[in-house]
Amino acid sequence: SQQGEEDPQALSIQEGENATMNCSYKTSINNLQWYRQNSGRGLVHLILIRSNEREKHSGRLRVTLDTSKKSSSLLITASRAADTASYFCATGGNKLVFGAGTILRVKS
């Protein structure tokens, strides 16, 4: 079974708006990673947050982690059409287990 489950399954927003995606997982973790996949391409690593971190930033990305609730969120601020992609959370160290992903569509 999948370790991480993203919510929502799909999200459609206007360019310039913020997009928030959530991930819930089942077991204890050392770190949680977020990846992006553009249509027809491989996954691209976005950010890794360790279990002792609560928040991490990278450019327009903000990731939070709540280990007590076994959940994480990915916020993309000031979205652009180029952010249109599927976003996955993954846990498990080297044996990563990916969630089903959130499909984000940013309309220009």
Residue 94 C-beta: closest distance to another protein, Å: 6
How many whole angstroms separate alpha carbon 9 and alpha carbon 12?
Answer: 10
- Residue 81: φ, ψ to 5°: -55, -35
If the CB atoms of residues 31 and 77 are measured against another protein, the closer one turns out to be: 31
Nearest to 87 by CA among 24, 21, 14: 21
Mapping DSSP to helix (H, G, I), strand (E, B) and coil, where does residue 58 land?
Answer: strand
Q: Rule CB under 8 A: which residues touch another protein?
A: 2, 30, 33, 35, 41-45, 48, 88, 93-101
Do 105 and 84 form a contact (C-beta atoms < 8 A)?
yes
String of DSSP letters for 74-87: EEE-S--GGG-EEE
**Residue 51 C-beta: closest distance to another protein, Å:** 13
Q: How far is the CB of 30 from another protein (least distance, A)?
A: 8
| Tokens representing residue 32 in the block | 């949680």
Of the pair 45, 107, the CB lying nearest another protein is at 45
Q: Closest separation between CB of residue 1 and another protein, Å? A: 11
Q: Select 9 or 18, whichever has its Cβ closest to another protein.
A: 9
Nearer to another protein, 101 or 104 (CB): 101
